[in-house]
Structure 1
């Protein structure tokens, strides 16, 4: 098996291609066979890619399992961003005008199947759109605006929406695509050393406090950077910089992700990079990724509507349920009975087709190891809040209280804790991460990996002080220097 076509219903894809199997999305997500496959290509033809739907999870977990999905999760998310048409208009004006010249209508719809168009004159445009947003089935809507054509909308096409007259062409395009490999598009390099730091002065729990932001600014300026602080209204200015450092809490359906994607597309050095945001933002993905890399974690189950009744038997009570995109201890729930489990699962599964359940393994504190570019940066102990099982405790009104913290030199942290943390971070990428772990003697387990870890004056910097901020800025400088040396 070299490829899998994923569909909602096996009858959706009647085409037989040697080496390519047709699998339903639900089987792919829930059967253990598919978690063990390696190096397989996954062609996601689900009817919906909406956030945390079945189609969304196919592309997300394909990556966690080491598969090669089309579309990948970054493309799925990009297609939902409001600015996607404007990005294309900026890049493809000339090609769009040439391809759509002499049309008698003010509107035009172009369907693209595996990078090809049924209309020969639009072949180059179809390929260009596919290169920007590589998804098997795309639809672009164009509108004539007095003097030029513009992309009005771009979206993935469901199999059921493909006109019957296009089926044979779509199948032939699929045959050709499956027969050859694709290489990623090349990104442009930056040449200037200007740093943008994205912040939100109204955020109640930002990843860096005001003093830490000033420390980052000073460290960057000492290394020769020009530094500007941006907020979400500055999206249109991202391309003016060489690097983007996101110091606002990140999320997938959020402007922070759009900033990261735009910056990456423009060739900026980005922390947090968009791939790290996607990967760390979803605990379902993290659970599968840790399993794939054999990194220890609490006993973990992926829960869907069909297996809720197994949770108590497999994990016992109490156990912990995690909303996939939970943050700051929100959306992480301890349940102590079968009735409570069913009630909480029912609510969580209304928002996501998959959730995470883990065995409850209490400790006095959690370790947090900061990792940058695959190397340990700082080590902290975060103690549990008073009379609570988490580091952060919130009352009914949302008021929070936190446990104490202790920062240690990396060399004084238990070697196994540091080793496992570095392994977990490297499984995500080479950016800046905060790895949360529990220690039971010599046994260490990963709780989660954060792409946007807290770095505050008076907490994480207590040991390294100014050196901590300098090392983060040196990471940007090193990568920018590499870009400059390799610039064609």
Structure 2
């Protein structure tokens, strides 16, 4: 994907950066060369982004032409909203306090150029704000109120408003941004689409191990994708891609959801899509959804502070309490006594006003059926950890013990297990899911649906091998080609 820097006058941008062409706004808006161009990145550095100004139309029409603009028109509009300062998350609020703590005045203005600030001590804060509101030139005004710093306003700053003393730094920041982002890899001419894979190298239990990620990369490239791995610091670059595949454990109050939400808003094909994350990440929602669709699940009770005393009478000891956003067997606790109920439910209800209680139904193993686009993809049986009632046994010191696994061909799975798994997945959406089920003879019950299922080399791919990765990448390709035809 080629790139252009759009300015009001060529003299506004005297910097020569390899691989980037400088054009005026009028050239971009009116010349057929740019009107009909495909796969173009547009870096909008016009002097004004006021409503219906030339700069406004550059970003607006970039979207209409299928170009990737920075800033996107949605970013320009988001920054104009009065509530923009209120969406700064807790992580950035902590950065604000650390970054501005030594400033003695009650006001501070920060200009951010391509994610960088003149003061090195503000480097992390500048990058975080750029990732949240990806605009090349951003101005943030802070005010010290009460006993803390708060964002008073933030918005895009036009090139004409950059102080003359900052211009040299701006050009260097731009050069760093363009060269660092594009120099590490050379795009294959045969590639038709750009795929971003979001990962976290520091995650202890990622949904795909390194070998599996390599297999995804190869499968995607074989189908005509150019692949780039992103981490949480790359939020500002999401709009540069055609598709996003999240291979980091997802959660709602988390950067993975923000990535998915932004990618969906920018028109990317996304797995996991934000709606699937919202639905699958909360066990309260899942329990109610299964009930609504009459999909069998263990006897389930919605628990709150007013009915805790009734739980044992309804479910009978032992039973299982579940934190709504629990993952990897954590936050899922078997309760054997009234004392345990009081303690565990009390702790959980301090974090969530609603939790889930389910009857304890032990089995030798849990089924996991991978579902993609409403069809079965793979099948595994995960056996319980030794001397434990769950697949994973977590130790107090942070270690864990996992049970064995067995991967089967989909055609060897009991038909009822497949049927109920597909019903549960379709209740969530049409993306990639892992449905966990328990089987008691002919009785099959859904335990949960995962929007971000594990796909590890040496486990889930033992039957299909490379074909498993190809099927998932082919889903992205099918969705992208369908959109192009439309």
Range class of TM-score, shorter chain: 0.5 to 0.7
Aligned to 2:227: 227
Aligned to 2:311: 311
1:439 paired with 2:439, answer yes
Q: Which has the higher contact order (CA 8 A, sep 6+)?
A: 1
Residues 275-290 of structure 1: pairs in structure 2 closer than 5 A: 275-290=275-290
Aligned to 1:426: 426
Q: Distance in 1 between matches of 2:326 and 2:365?
A: 20
| Secondary structure of residue in 1 paired with 2:346 | helix
Deviation at 1:91, TM superposition (A): 3.2
Aligned to 2:301: 301
The question of whether the paired residues in 2 share the 8 Å contact of 1:192 and 1:241 is answered with no
Q: Distance in 1 between matches of 2:365 and 2:156?
A: 64
Moved over 2 A (4+): 85-89, 91-96, 141-148
| Secondary structure of residue in 2 paired with 1:289 | helix
Aligned to 1:264: 264
Uncovered stretches (5+) of structure 1, i.e. residues with no partner: 1-84, 97-140, 149-190
Residues 383-402 of structure 1: pairs in structure 2 closer than 5 A: 383-402=383-402
User: Which residue, out of 91, 95, 102, partners 2:77?
Assistant: 91
Which string of whole-angstrom CA distances, capped at 9 and with x for unpartnered residues, describes residues 19-54 of structure 1? xxxxxxxxxxxxxxxxxxxxxxxxxxxxxxxxxxxx
Deviation at 1:147, TM superposition (A): 7.2
Aligned to 1:38: none
Q: Distance in 1 between matches of 2:393 and 2:270?
A: 32
Which string of whole-angstrom CA distances, capped at 9 and with x for unpartnered residues, describes residues 174-199 of structure 1? xxxxxxxxxxxxxxxxx961000000
The question of whether the paired residues in 2 share the 8 Å contact of 1:197 and 1:230 is answered with yes
Aligned to 2:347: 347
Aligned to 1:481: 481
Cα RMSD after superposing both structures: 2.3
| Secondary structure of residue in 1 paired with 2:287 | helix
**CA 1:481 to 1:343, structure 2 compared with 1: closer, same or farther past 3 Å?**
same
The question of whether the paired residues in 1 share the 8 Å contact of 2:192 and 2:225 is answered with no
Aligned to 2:217: 217
Q: Distance in 1 between matches of 2:193 and 2:359?
A: 47
Uncovered stretches (5+) of structure 2, i.e. residues with no partner: 1-70, 83-150, 159-190
Aligned length: 317
**CA 1:272 to 1:144, structure 2 compared with 1: closer, same or farther past 3 Å?**
closer
**CA 1:469 to 1:315, structure 2 compared with 1: closer, same or farther past 3 Å?**
same
Aligned to 1:374: 374
Point out the more displaced range, 444-453 or 192-201: 192-201
Deviation at 1:90, TM superposition (A): 1.7
1:331 paired with 2:317, answer no
Q: Distance in 2 between matches of 1:330 and 1:92?
A: 37
Deviation at 1:342, TM superposition (A): 1.3
TM-score (norm 2): 0.63
**CA 1:359 to 1:467, structure 2 compared with 1: closer, same or farther past 3 Å?**
same
| Secondary structure of residue in 1 paired with 2:350 | coil
1:410 paired with 2:410, answer yes
